[in-house]
Amino acid sequence: MALPYFGLDIGNHSIKAIRLDSTDINTRLVGYAYGSTPAGVLTVQDDESFKRLAKAIKDILNSSNLASVKQVIFAVPESHVIRQLMHLPYMNDEELENAVIFEMKKWINAPIEQMRIDKVVIGEKIVDNQRIIDVLGVAVRIDYLDRYVELLSSIGLEPIAAETEGIATVRAIYPQATDLTSTYLIVDVGSQSTDVSVAFKDKLLYSDSIPYGSDSVTKAISQTFSLDLIKAEAYKKTYGMIRGNFGGKLADVIEPVVDVILNDVRRSIDFFRTEYSEIPPQRIYLTGEASNMPGFLEYCKEKLMIDVVITNPWQNIEINSADAANLKKNSFAYTVAIGLARKSDVF
Ligand SMILES: Nc1ncnc2c1ncn2[C@@H]1O[C@H](COP(=O)(O)OP(=O)(O)OP(=O)(O)O)[C@@H](O)[C@H]1O
Ligand SMILES: [Mg+2]
């Protein structure tokens, strides 16, 4: 039986939706939708943008095989999330709930009543003969969540849960990382931001959102070579940062933008190498459509000096051949939507 809900990822560039049928034996794709996000609607938050976004989501779903499904789990972009990894002395569930709120207050600039605070218990360990619980605290503004609930309700959907992109991403990628014995990073390159998640097994330990994505690369190409954005985008996708092209001139423009992203990734690697030296980062999984830029994988390997792979989030999901052909073009874009669709603890 297909799950009664679908996962919805509303990105700055594209809207992605996935519905799965999940049993103990296998996971099968039963529905999906993809379409462009109208330009600027997520950054300009006025009523007009709200309506245009609602209409775009409705149209995309109506022209897919998800039109009759009402229940939805949506993603909260990492840029709207405050999160903090904590190591607390062992306590019962109720005490832990309060302790997480108490700790999170230190990191939040708004009145606590305006925030929705959640926790992900990562695990327990013994330190100096003391039982310690590792917990990730996660906070999102309630009015931000309310706005999405209103948006989705306005087109007849029933939001049943929301989850941060980082948590969804780890759930989507973990089936491919089961061989690892240490931590790993997932770098999801989007259009306007790049999200970095650090995970151990199936648990998110840390996440960060870098306000640079693949559109920054397009803009840099466009400005340097006086090309319109469509041409600049085509150059990016076709030639990317391979040094052999155009005497390295295109690579010269792209590398500084990518370096900003990789500097941040390196900081996360260094932090976990030092603070979690018993489980240092073992591999990086690149995902998001933009990670397919020619030369990007090789550049990451060279700069970060760690095992890096490009990962397609569809491994371990059965897809019929017609859907597989349709999905081919944007298959890397679905990571967050797949992670949401795989969420099983919603009721
Ligand atoms: N082959 C490719 N090479 C380089 N960049 C690409 C390629 N294919 C897509 N992109 C870029 O990927 C970006 C779109 O990715 P995606 O749809 O995952 O973004 P998004 O989730 O909507 O954005 P965000 O997460 O920032 O809100 C665009 O910037 C696009 O130019
Ligand atoms: Mg995205």
CATH code of the domain covering residue 47: 3.30.420.40
Asked if residues 37 and 15 have their Cβ atoms less than 8 Å apart, the reply is: yes
**pLDDT score recorded for residue 23:** 84
CA 183 to chain centre: 17
Distance 80 CA to ligand 2 centre (A): 13
Rounded Cα gap, residues 164 and 197, in angstroms: 11
Q: Could you identify the atom of ligand 1 that is nearest to the CA of residue 14?
A: 22
Using the atom order of ligand 1, give the atom closest to the CA of residue 191: 29
Sorted by sequence, the CB contacts under 8 Å of residue 85 that are 6+ apart come out as 122, 134, 135, 136, 137, 205, 206
- Is 167 part of a structural domain of the chain? yes
- 292 has a pLDDT exceeding 70: yes
Let me know how many helices (H) and strands (E) the chain has, helices first. 10, 13
- Token pair for 129: 């003969």
Is 228 within the bounds of a domain?
Answer: no
Q: Give, in degrees to the nearest 5, the angle at Cα 343 between 39 and 171.
A: 80
Q: What is the pLDDT of residues 170-179, one digit of tens each?
A: 999 999 999 9
Ligand 1 binding pocket includes 317 (Cβ within 6 Å)? no
Which helix H or strand E contains 186, and what residues bound it? strand 184-189
* 284-297 mean pLDDT: 96
Residue nearest to atom 7 of ligand 1 (CA): 290
Residue located via tokens 């999901």: 317
* Joined tokens for residue 152: 């989705």
Task: Judge contact between 48 and 135, C-beta under 8 A.
Answer: no
Q: How much distance in Å is there from the Cα of 190 to the middle of ligand 2?
A: 5
Mean pLDDT taken over the chain: 94
Domain annotation covers residue 229 = no
The answer to whether residue 242 is domain-embedded is: no
Residues 36-67 have pLDDT tens digits of 999 989 887 788 999 999 999 999 999 999 99
Question: What CA–CA distance (Å, rounded) separates 216 from 218?
Answer: 5
Chain center to CA of 160: 19
In a domain, 265, yes or no: yes
Q: Return d(Cα 21, Cα 282) in angstroms, integer.
A: 31
Query: What are the tens digits of pLDDT across the range 116-143?
Result: 999 989 888 888 899 999 999 999 999 9
CA distance 97 to 212: 34
3-state secondary structure of 332: helix
Radius of gyration of the chain (CA): 20
Q: Which tokens belong to 281?
A: 């980062």
- Asked if the structure places residue 235 within a domain, the reply is no
Question: How far apart (Å, rounded) are the C-alpha atoms in residues 70 and 65?
Answer: 12
pLDDT band (50, 70, 90) for residue 347: low
Instruction: Give the range of the structural domain holding residue 20, as residue numbers without chain letter.
Output: 5-218+250-341
Q: Is the CB of 222 under 6 A from ligand 1?
A: no
d(CA 126, CA 124): 7
Q: Is 76 in the pocket of ligand 1 (CB under 6 A)?
A: no
Percentage of the chain beyond pLDDT 90 is 86
- In the chain, how many domains are there? 1
Give 166-180 as a DSSP string: HHHHHHHHGGG-TT-
Tell me how far apart the alpha carbons of residues 214 and 169 are, in angstroms, rounded to a whole number: 18
The response to whether residue 215 sits with its C-beta less than 6 Å from ligand 1 reads yes
pLDDT (tens digit per residue) in 215-232: 999 999 999 999 999 999
- Report if residue 223 sits inside a domain: no
Question: Is 24 within the bounds of a domain?
Answer: yes
State which of 155-159, 244-248, 325-329 shows the largest mean pLDDT: 155-159
